[in-house]
Structure 1
Amino acid sequence: MTGNHSRRSVLKLFGAVPVAAAGLPAIAPVRADRSLAARIAEITKRPEFTGSHWGMRFQLAGAGPVYSLNPEQRFVAGSAFKVFIAGSAFAALGADRRFRTTVHGTGPVVHGVLKGDLVLVADGDLLLGPRIRPHGKLALPVPDHSYGSATALVPGDPLQQVRHLARQVARRGIRRVEGRVIVDASLFRQGSERIANGNISIPVSPMMINDNIIDVVVTPGGHAGAPARLRVSPNPAYLTVLNEVTTVLNPVRRLTFTEVPTAAGRTRTVRLTGDVRPGGQPVVAPYYVPDPVRFAEIAFGAALREAGVRVTDGRAASGKGRREPLAEHVSPPLSEQVKVMLKVSSNPHTAHFPYLVGATAGRDPDTPKATGERLQRELFRRFGLDPDDPVDERYTSDFFVQFLSHMARRRDFTAYRQAMPIMGRDGSIAHVLPGSPAAGRVFAKTGTASQGKVLNKALAGYVVLPDDRLVVFAQFMNTPVGSLDEAMELQRVVEIAQGEIATAVYESLTR
């Protein structure tokens, strides 16, 4: 559940504001199955949706609307707005953009000894971690480990690329470093952004390992009253966790990290408190690293030791000369990078992209967020949208359809579409109608937000017909709920209903 408490700051961060899409072409409607309106009405008027309000637009690309309902009314879009962030990254950087994490030495290598520092240079790669699998695809389990509701880690080694870089250094014949291990994160100045995951602030840095999260897997004890068992991953001697999690029959306390004051140094200590139910599944509690640079330095130092490279940390011996390249890791392309934001709706990744776009495309290391916002606004203007026309930070179906229609004209559109969740196949809508005729043909970003006792749901993206025609769409709904538990239960029902509506449109155009 994405809370509304951070919507204002998030929307201002990305400049993704709703406007009426006056530029949509006034083309005669496409002839769809005559029963489509009745079929959609049957879905939206079900008893479980009593009191709900819906808005949507389905439009065949290059032609007229297939179906629309309240297309100019505004709704809370939740995380569906991330299609704008991804679109801005595609437009500014290109789908094929890759990021290079490199290692340099600042002095000569004499008989296996580096007479200087070893510098790990961050280039903004957001996929340093376990997600890259041996077969080349990404591990994108839902829910994502950043949400605090996952029951298993992202499969793979969270330090795999760091270890690969360390082995490259060792293969250069280096066995000892007389200087320091340093992380250069000068690509852009580190920022801080509040995210919906627990309404906390996280650092935004060019250096990101394992999403800058240390996962603490909490397993209930064998009986009520027993302490829970903890497993920390990755654990390169950066974090000490004091276990105060109790196994109880009726859990009340949420899992919460509290910083423990310690002497100034390289490591952190936290207290983890909370309750878990006996016999329950493990829970992955994400600890957001407050200092990504220090975390990476410690992780890289540990990887070097594993590779047989000893670091003496001799500050007096640190070289100040020209940097010589020693190792490199090249990331998957941007088209893969955005999948963590789109398919599993990662809020940490979403917070990083405006900085990354501003620093790289805008060449602004000092105020990258502001430059990222400016590039986002320029993209809206190019698409015929006014970035200065928000109304209570709500979006119209027309706005989404116009933006997504422009994205569909790009040469890298297929990569953009493939980065979205695919209904019945992967991401946040993998569970939606896997046996539907439209399964595998609906590419769309979900959105969920709560405002008091109102549940807001969104789904926006594309339907690909069997003859490769493209339907661009956005659909929204809000409905009153009595509690958070009711909202959590109902949101799955709404997701299925929105999938049924997309399927109805698909079938109406293929008969």
Structure 2
Amino acid sequence: MKHSGQVQTGDHSRRTVLKLLGATPIAAAGLLSAGATARADTSERTLAAKIADIIKRPEFAGSQWGMRFQPAGAEPVFTMNPEQRFVAASAFKVFVAGSAFSALGAGHRFRTTVHRTGPVVNGALRGDLVLVAGGDLLLGPRIRPDGTLALPLPDHSYGSATAPIHGDPLQQLRHLAGQVACRGIRRVEGRVTVDASLFRQGREQIAIGNISIPVSPMMVNDNIVDVVVTPGGQAGAPAGLRVWPDIAYLTVVNDVTTVLNPLRRLTFTEVSTAPDGTRTVRLTGDVRLGGPPVVSPYFVPDPVRFAEIAFAEALHDAGVDVIGHLSRLDSGRRTQVAEYISPPLSEQVKVMLKISSNPHTVHFPYLVGAVAGHDPDTPKVTGERYQRELFERAGVDPDDPVGDRYTSDFFVRFLSHMARQKYFVPYRQALPIMGRDGSIAHVLPDSPAAGRVFAKTGTASMGDVLHKALAGYIVLPDGRLVMFAQFMNKSVGSVDEAMALQSVVETAQGEIAAAVYESLTR
């Protein structure tokens, strides 16, 4: 199919109104009265006109759109270029989450345990303490006292947040350390180590400066040290730095300057690594005079050593001293002394879906492969096999996507399959909710459709083109579902133009979903 680069508005099909509105079997067979048919045609024309009005606005001149809105068990209410490929960007995370739900189950919990390797004599452990990583991605401050998750936007991993996640990054490690102390252990004469054998550590590139990060079954605070940079009081003054969590793992040399017009990006440069695994880095760059603080995330290159040092400090705070020189007494046999059980998978995936965490996203194929596939050596390969098998069960061709480009039809068929699974409700609830939470919390909060559109966003700026996606579900008042996917791309003249336009597109895509909702609830 060739496209001129202008707004595309074709490929609409006629439907029977009673299929759309849940009519009787006779009516669904097509035996409609002339009046019903007229109302259906009028409704279709009204919806098509509303969508056309949105996508033909001046700010979208030269754009391309593709979409499909498909009520469960009925013909689509609206399609536009449904077989054209678009860049899905982070909207593809609905597939990653789907694979995790399918392979592990919504209620799967990850266990982080602590074991001793020797006897305890008069409060002294004659051996090591081993922290065994279970793949929990929520070890950190996200879990609030009431059990809900802190999911602030922008996420601290993106380098544009103004504060770290509120709470204690070591809270679960402190919980484990407290259990160790309650077992009567007051001194560890061996070492504190981390067993990360659940799967072999990998490396993956993330869409944050195209950096590569380690993928490990051991994750504390998203394996990020937050360096909060606060502008100084005058131009030329050094910025203030606060390191969080402030543990011995990382020392930051401050080379950040307060200026009127920042030109240098905040950048970490490795300075040295000590024999004990602690690291020194230099942070260079500019911050704007009078501007807000900025969180510059340092992605730890050694998650295991990071966790070992963090756990040792949590033990110290709990009254357990670590001597670290008698590991030769290690018997090799382990006895469990502490355990922390994570929230269920249905909560774990919210960091990936609601706030679009890229570090969490790259971990899930490894977790699926290691936990469901029992493959510690090539977990990503096995995780990808589980993804392909899910695509096949959904009736879509695993080889159909070309790079990051998908059709609306592909998304809708996959989402339709997910809607038939026993874990569907927690899967849907993990998606951003329009006007309520996640990446579309700000979109149309006063619309009748607010709270009823559950969908994953996607944003990519590739060269001089902005790509936007929104895919998920509309829940009608009577409980019926509409599966949908919609995409847009448009040429832009600069990064600033792309940044300004993306929020406009998000609102427009929300308006289109709301128009479909209203057309089916009259």
Cα distance change of structure 1 residues 221 and 129 upon mapping to structure 2, 3 Å threshold: same
* One of 243, 264, 268 as aligned partner of 2:254: 243
Q: Residue in 2 aligned with 1:37?
A: 48
Distance 1:417 1:121 in 2: 32
Q: Residue in 1 aligned with 2:27?
A: none
Cα distance change of structure 1 residues 109 and 433 upon mapping to structure 2, 3 Å threshold: same
Give the letter for the 2:360 counterpart.
H
Q: Residue in 2 aligned with 1:118?
A: 129
Q: Residue in 2 aligned with 1:358?
A: 369
Question: Is residue 467 of structure 1 aligned with residue 475 of structure 2?
Answer: no
Query: Which one has more relative contact order, counting CA pairs under 8 Å at least 6 apart?
Result: 1
Cα distance change of structure 1 residues 324 and 262 upon mapping to structure 2, 3 Å threshold: closer
Question: Is residue 223 of structure 1 aligned with residue 234 of structure 2?
Answer: yes
SS at match of 1:260: strand
Q: Residue in 1 aligned with 2:313?
A: 302
Q: Tell me the alpha carbon deviations over residues 7-44 of structure 1, each in whole angstroms, 9 at most, x when there is no partner.
A: xxxxxxxxxxxxxxxxxxx9867345540000000000
Shift in Å, 1:388: 1.9
Distance 1:75 1:143 in 2: 25
Q: Residue in 2 aligned with 1:398?
A: 409
Question: Is residue 129 of structure 1 aligned with residue 152 of structure 2?
Answer: no
Shift in Å, 1:265: 2.9
Shift in Å, 1:206: 0.2
Larger deviation, residues 71-80 vs 392-401: 392-401
Give the letter for the 2:268 counterpart.
F
SS at match of 2:257: strand
Cα distance change of structure 1 residues 302 and 377 upon mapping to structure 2, 3 Å threshold: same
Q: Tell me the alpha carbon deviations over residues 404-454 of structure 1, each in whole angstroms, 9 at most, x when there is no partner.
A: 000001111110000000001110001101111101110000000111110
Residue 425 of structure 1 contacts residue 440 of structure 1 at CA under 8 Å; is this kept in 2? yes
Question: Is residue 382 of structure 1 aligned with residue 393 of structure 2?
Answer: yes
Residue 44 of structure 2 contacts residue 77 of structure 2 at CA under 8 Å; is this kept in 1? no
Distance 2:363 2:179 in 1: 28
Q: Residue in 2 aligned with 1:278?
A: 289
Distance 1:318 1:401 in 2: 59
Shift in Å, 1:108: 1.2
Structure index of larger Rg: 2
SS at match of 2:395: coil
Q: Residue in 1 aligned with 2:168?
A: 157
Give the letter for the 1:372 counterpart.
G
Q: Residue in 1 aligned with 2:30?
A: none
Aligned length: 486
Which residues in structure 2 correspond to 1:129-208 (within 5 Å)?
Answer: 129-208=140-219
Q: Tell me the alpha carbon deviations over residues 180-224 of structure 1, each in whole angstroms, 9 at most, x when there is no partner.
A: 101000000000001111110000000000000000000000110
Distance 1:314 1:46 in 2: 70
Root-mean-square deviation over aligned CA pairs = 1.2
Q: Tell me the alpha carbon deviations over residues 259-303 of structure 1, each in whole angstroms, 9 at most, x when there is no partner.
A: 003443320000000101111000000000000000000000001
Residue 92 of structure 1 contacts residue 361 of structure 1 at CA under 8 Å; is this kept in 2? yes
Give the letter for the 2:238 counterpart.
P
SS at match of 1:202: strand
Give the letter for the 1:365 counterpart.
P
Residue 128 of structure 2 contacts residue 327 of structure 2 at CA under 8 Å; is this kept in 1? no
Residue 115 of structure 1 contacts residue 317 of structure 1 at CA under 8 Å; is this kept in 2? no
SS at match of 1:261: strand
* One of 424, 445, 451 as aligned partner of 1:440: 451
Distance 1:162 1:183 in 2: 12
Q: Tell me the alpha carbon deviations over residues 83-132 of structure 1, each in whole angstroms, 9 at most, x when there is no partner.
A: 00000000000000000000000111111111111000000000000000
Q: Residue in 1 aligned with 2:280?
A: 269
* One of 63, 80, 88 as aligned partner of 1:52: 63
| Identity in percent | 77
Q: Residue in 2 aligned with 1:92?
A: 103
Give the letter for the 2:399 counterpart.
D
Which residues in structure 2 correspond to 1:445-464 (within 5 Å)?
Answer: 445-464=456-475
Distance 2:400 2:498 in 1: 30
Larger deviation, residues 492-501 vs 56-65: 56-65
Q: Residue in 2 aligned with 1:16?
A: none
SS at match of 1:35: helix
Q: Which runs of 5+ in 1 are unaligned?
A: 1-25
Distance 1:108 1:237 in 2: 29
Distance 1:410 1:277 in 2: 50
Residue 15 of structure 2 contacts residue 77 of structure 2 at CA under 8 Å; is this kept in 1? no
Residue 219 of structure 1 contacts residue 228 of structure 1 at CA under 8 Å; is this kept in 2? yes
Q: Which runs of 5+ in 2 are unaligned?
A: 1-13, 21-39
Q: Residue in 1 aligned with 2:28?
A: none
Distance 2:202 2:192 in 1: 23
Q: Residue in 1 aligned with 2:507?
A: 496
Which residues in structure 2 correspond to 1:10-29 (within 5 Å)?
Answer: none
Residue 207 of structure 1 contacts residue 296 of structure 1 at CA under 8 Å; is this kept in 2? yes
Shift in Å, 1:392: 4.8
SS at match of 2:314: helix
Q: Residue in 2 aligned with 1:373?
A: 384
Give the letter for the 1:502 counterpart.
A
SS at match of 2:272: coil
